[in-house]
Amino acid sequence: DIQMTQSPSSLSASVGDRVTITCRASQGISNYLAWYQQKPGKVPKLLIYAASTLQSGVPSRFSGSGSGTDFTLTISSLQPEDVATYYCQKYNSAPITFGQGTRLEIK
Amino acid sequence: EVQLVESGGGLVQPGGSLRLSCAASGFTFSDHYMDWVRQAPGKGLEWVGRTRNKANSYTTEYAASVKGRFTISRDDSKNSLYLQMNSLKTEDTAVYYCARGPYDSSGYYPYWGQGTLVTVSS
Protein backbone atom coordinates (compact mmCIF):
# COMPACT_ATOMS: atom_id res chain seq x y z
CA ASP A 1 0.00 0.00 0.00
CA ILE A 2 1.08 3.57 -0.66
CA GLN A 3 2.08 5.51 2.44
CA MET A 4 1.67 9.26 2.80
CA THR A 5 4.16 11.12 4.98
CA GLN A 6 3.59 14.72 6.01
CA SER A 7 6.14 17.16 7.38
CA PRO A 8 6.38 18.81 9.72
CA SER A 9 4.11 17.12 12.27
CA SER A 10 3.53 20.46 13.95
CA LEU A 11 4.25 24.02 13.04
CA SER A 12 4.05 27.39 14.77
CA ALA A 13 4.01 30.57 12.71
CA SER A 14 3.04 34.21 13.02
CA VAL A 15 0.03 35.92 11.49
CA GLY A 16 0.96 37.01 7.99
CA ASP A 17 3.66 34.36 7.54
CA ARG A 18 3.89 32.13 4.49
CA VAL A 19 3.41 28.54 5.62
CA THR A 20 4.29 25.39 3.67
CA ILE A 21 3.35 21.81 4.53
CA THR A 22 4.84 18.91 2.60
CA CYS A 23 3.33 15.53 1.76
CA ARG A 24 5.31 12.69 0.21
CA ALA A 25 3.86 9.53 -1.31
CA SER A 26 5.82 6.27 -1.16
CA GLN A 27 4.93 5.66 -4.83
CA GLY A 28 3.82 7.94 -7.61
CA ILE A 29 0.17 8.98 -7.50
CA SER A 30 0.10 11.45 -10.41
CA ASN A 31 -2.02 14.34 -9.12
CA TYR A 32 -4.55 12.29 -7.13
CA LEU A 33 -3.90 14.27 -3.99
CA ALA A 34 -6.27 16.21 -1.76
CA TRP A 35 -5.76 18.46 1.27
CA TYR A 36 -8.13 18.89 4.21
CA GLN A 37 -8.36 21.27 7.12
CA GLN A 38 -9.78 20.06 10.41
CA LYS A 39 -10.47 22.39 13.30
CA PRO A 40 -10.90 20.94 16.81
CA GLY A 41 -14.22 19.16 17.21
CA LYS A 42 -15.17 19.76 13.58
CA VAL A 43 -15.57 17.69 10.45
CA PRO A 44 -12.67 17.75 7.96
CA LYS A 45 -13.06 20.36 5.24
CA LEU A 46 -11.79 19.82 1.70
CA LEU A 47 -9.37 22.57 0.65
CA ILE A 48 -7.70 21.30 -2.51
CA TYR A 49 -8.11 18.37 -4.88
CA ALA A 50 -6.19 17.18 -7.92
CA ALA A 51 -3.09 18.49 -6.12
CA SER A 52 -3.69 22.12 -7.06
CA THR A 53 -7.40 22.80 -7.64
CA LEU A 54 -8.96 25.01 -4.99
CA GLN A 55 -12.31 23.77 -3.71
CA SER A 56 -15.13 26.26 -4.16
CA GLY A 57 -15.37 28.74 -1.30
CA VAL A 58 -11.83 28.18 0.01
CA PRO A 59 -9.82 31.39 0.43
CA SER A 60 -7.26 32.06 -2.28
CA ARG A 61 -4.43 32.25 0.26
CA PHE A 62 -4.47 28.44 0.15
CA SER A 63 -2.69 26.77 -2.76
CA GLY A 64 -1.36 23.36 -3.63
CA SER A 65 1.30 22.06 -5.94
CA GLY A 66 3.14 18.91 -6.90
CA SER A 67 2.78 15.72 -8.86
CA GLY A 68 4.07 12.18 -8.63
CA THR A 69 5.40 11.75 -5.11
CA ASP A 70 6.00 15.25 -3.71
CA PHE A 71 3.28 17.74 -2.87
CA THR A 72 2.95 20.98 -0.94
CA LEU A 73 0.16 22.96 0.67
CA THR A 74 0.95 26.66 1.01
CA ILE A 75 -0.84 29.35 2.99
CA SER A 76 0.40 32.63 1.56
CA SER A 77 -0.48 34.81 4.55
CA LEU A 78 -1.43 32.97 7.74
CA GLN A 79 -4.63 34.10 9.43
CA PRO A 80 -5.78 33.33 13.00
CA GLU A 81 -8.66 31.25 11.66
CA ASP A 82 -6.20 28.92 9.92
CA VAL A 83 -5.28 27.28 13.23
CA ALA A 84 -6.12 23.64 12.52
CA THR A 85 -4.70 20.25 11.63
CA TYR A 86 -4.07 19.68 7.93
CA TYR A 87 -4.16 16.29 6.21
CA CYS A 88 -3.14 15.15 2.77
CA GLN A 89 -4.95 12.23 1.15
CA LYS A 90 -4.13 10.11 -1.87
CA TYR A 91 -7.13 8.84 -3.81
CA ASN A 92 -5.91 7.29 -7.06
CA SER A 93 -7.04 3.86 -5.93
CA ALA A 94 -8.04 1.91 -2.84
CA PRO A 95 -6.86 1.75 -0.16
CA ILE A 96 -7.30 5.48 0.33
CA THR A 97 -4.53 6.81 2.56
CA PHE A 98 -4.19 9.96 4.64
CA GLY A 99 -1.05 11.58 5.92
CA GLN A 100 -0.59 11.65 9.68
CA GLY A 101 -1.51 15.33 9.90
CA THR A 102 0.24 18.64 10.53
CA ARG A 103 -0.90 20.72 13.49
CA LEU A 104 -0.63 24.43 12.75
CA GLU A 105 -0.58 26.98 15.57
CA ILE A 106 -0.16 30.72 15.80
CA LYS A 107 3.05 31.93 17.42
CA GLU B 1 -28.12 20.33 -0.46
CA VAL B 2 -26.14 17.16 0.19
CA GLN B 3 -26.74 15.84 3.69
CA LEU B 4 -25.19 12.81 5.37
CA VAL B 5 -26.35 11.86 8.85
CA GLU B 6 -24.72 9.01 10.76
CA SER B 7 -26.32 7.13 13.63
CA GLY B 8 -25.87 3.97 15.65
CA GLY B 9 -22.74 4.77 17.63
CA GLY B 10 -22.36 3.93 21.28
CA LEU B 11 -20.52 1.91 23.88
CA VAL B 12 -19.81 -1.75 23.11
CA GLN B 13 -17.64 -4.36 24.78
CA PRO B 14 -14.59 -5.84 23.06
CA GLY B 15 -15.68 -8.71 20.84
CA GLY B 16 -19.10 -7.20 20.38
CA SER B 17 -20.93 -5.93 17.32
CA LEU B 18 -22.48 -2.66 16.24
CA ARG B 19 -24.20 -1.42 13.09
CA LEU B 20 -23.82 2.14 11.95
CA SER B 21 -26.14 3.86 9.50
CA CYS B 22 -25.72 6.89 7.27
CA ALA B 23 -28.86 8.53 5.92
CA ALA B 24 -28.28 10.45 2.71
CA SER B 25 -30.36 13.19 1.12
CA GLY B 26 -30.07 15.96 -1.42
CA PHE B 27 -28.60 13.84 -4.22
CA THR B 28 -29.21 10.65 -6.20
CA PHE B 29 -27.75 8.21 -3.69
CA SER B 30 -27.76 5.24 -6.05
CA ASP B 31 -25.34 6.95 -8.44
CA HIS B 32 -22.55 7.35 -5.92
CA TYR B 33 -19.74 5.41 -4.33
CA MET B 34 -19.89 5.87 -0.56
CA ASP B 35 -17.04 5.60 1.93
CA TRP B 36 -16.54 5.27 5.68
CA VAL B 37 -13.66 7.14 7.34
CA ARG B 38 -12.83 7.02 11.05
CA GLN B 39 -10.81 9.05 13.51
CA ALA B 40 -9.63 7.70 16.84
CA PRO B 41 -9.60 10.23 19.71
CA GLY B 42 -6.73 12.65 19.23
CA LYS B 43 -5.51 10.78 16.13
CA GLY B 44 -5.58 11.22 12.38
CA LEU B 45 -8.02 10.17 9.68
CA GLU B 46 -8.22 6.53 8.59
CA TRP B 47 -10.13 5.23 5.60
CA VAL B 48 -12.30 2.24 6.57
CA GLY B 49 -13.80 1.17 3.27
CA ARG B 50 -16.02 1.81 0.27
CA THR B 51 -19.09 0.55 -1.50
CA ARG B 52 -19.39 1.25 -5.19
CA ASN B 53 -22.64 1.95 -7.00
CA LYS B 54 -25.01 -0.40 -8.82
CA ALA B 55 -23.27 0.30 -12.13
CA ASN B 56 -20.15 -1.16 -10.56
CA SER B 57 -21.95 -4.11 -8.97
CA TYR B 58 -21.93 -2.70 -5.44
CA THR B 59 -18.41 -4.01 -4.98
CA THR B 60 -16.68 -3.18 -1.71
CA GLU B 61 -13.13 -2.60 -0.53
CA TYR B 62 -11.75 -2.40 2.98
CA ALA B 63 -8.74 -1.24 4.92
CA ALA B 64 -6.53 -4.09 6.05
CA SER B 65 -7.23 -3.19 9.69
CA VAL B 66 -10.95 -4.00 9.37
CA LYS B 67 -11.10 -6.56 6.56
CA GLY B 68 -12.94 -9.69 7.63
CA ARG B 69 -14.56 -7.94 10.61
CA PHE B 70 -16.44 -5.01 9.04
CA THR B 71 -19.00 -5.14 6.24
CA ILE B 72 -20.23 -2.17 4.24
CA SER B 73 -23.64 -2.35 2.60
CA ARG B 74 -26.21 -0.01 1.17
CA ASP B 75 -29.93 0.17 0.51
CA ASP B 76 -30.52 2.49 -2.43
CA SER B 77 -34.29 2.33 -1.88
CA LYS B 78 -33.77 3.89 1.55
CA ASN B 79 -30.88 6.19 0.57
CA SER B 80 -28.88 4.57 3.33
CA LEU B 81 -25.36 3.31 3.90
CA TYR B 82 -24.42 0.84 6.60
CA LEU B 83 -21.32 -0.35 8.43
CA GLN B 84 -21.65 -3.66 10.25
CA MET B 85 -18.83 -3.97 12.74
CA ASN B 86 -18.11 -7.35 14.31
CA SER B 87 -15.37 -8.65 16.62
CA LEU B 88 -14.76 -5.11 17.80
CA LYS B 89 -11.44 -4.21 19.38
CA THR B 90 -10.51 -1.34 21.68
CA GLU B 91 -8.53 0.15 18.80
CA ASP B 92 -11.76 0.51 16.79
CA THR B 93 -12.80 3.30 19.18
CA ALA B 94 -13.29 6.32 16.93
CA VAL B 95 -15.66 8.79 15.39
CA TYR B 96 -16.99 7.19 12.22
CA TYR B 97 -17.86 9.42 9.27
CA CYS B 98 -19.63 8.59 6.05
CA ALA B 99 -18.27 10.54 3.11
CA ARG B 100 -19.05 11.12 -0.56
CA GLY B 101 -17.10 12.37 -3.53
CA PRO B 102 -18.10 15.21 -5.87
CA TYR B 103 -19.27 12.81 -8.58
CA ASP B 104 -20.10 9.16 -8.76
CA SER B 105 -16.71 7.55 -8.32
CA SER B 106 -14.27 10.07 -6.96
CA GLY B 107 -12.16 9.29 -3.93
CA TYR B 108 -11.83 12.71 -2.35
CA TYR B 109 -14.52 14.09 -0.07
CA PRO B 110 -16.29 17.44 -0.33
CA TYR B 111 -19.14 15.91 1.66
CA TRP B 112 -18.97 14.47 5.18
CA GLY B 113 -21.48 13.54 7.81
CA GLN B 114 -21.15 14.89 11.33
CA GLY B 115 -19.83 11.56 12.60
CA THR B 116 -20.94 9.05 15.22
CA LEU B 117 -18.76 7.97 18.13
CA VAL B 118 -18.06 4.29 18.74
CA THR B 119 -16.43 3.39 22.03
CA VAL B 120 -15.13 -0.15 22.51
CA SER B 121 -14.44 -0.73 26.17
CA SER B 122 -15.16 -3.17 28.95
pLDDT digits (tens, 9 = 90+) for B68-89: 999 999 999 999 999 999 999 9
Measure the N-to-C terminal CA separation of chain A; round to a whole number of Å. Answer: 37
Q: Which amino acid is at A86?
A: Y
Kindly state the DSSP code that residue B16 receives in the 8-state scheme. -
Strand segments, DSSP code E, in B26-65 are 34-39, 45-51, 60-62
The reported pLDDT for the residue numbered A103 is 98
Q: What band does B59 get if pLDDT is binned at 50, 70 and 90?
A: very high
Residues 1-60 of A with CB under 8 A from B: 1, 32, 34, 36, 38, 43-44, 46, 49, 55
Residues 86-105 of B with CB under 8 A from A: 97, 102
pLDDT at B28 over 80: yes
All residues of chain A having their beta carbon less than 8 Å from the beta carbon of residue B97 are: 43-44
| Closest CA–CA distance from residue B45 to any residue of chain A (Å) | 6
* Residue A74: HSE in the Cβ half-sphere, 13 Å Cα cutoff: 12
Gyration radius from chain B CA atoms: 14
The reported pLDDT for the residue numbered A96 is 96
Distance CA B27, CA B105 (A): 14
User: pLDDT, tens digit, for every residue of A12-30?
Assistant: 999 999 999 999 999 999 9
Nearest CA in chain B to A102: B44
Question: Are B117 and B61 in contact, with CB atoms under 8 Å apart?
Answer: no
Best to test chain A binding among B96, B109, B114 (most A CBs inside 10 Å) = B109
Distance CA B58, CA B38 (A): 21
pLDDT at B107 over 90: no
Kindly state the DSSP code that residue A55 receives in the 8-state scheme. P
pLDDT at B104 over 80: no
Q: What percent of chain B has pLDDT over 90?
A: 94
User: pLDDT, tens digit, for every residue of A54-92?
Assistant: 999 999 999 999 999 999 999 999 999 999 999 999 999
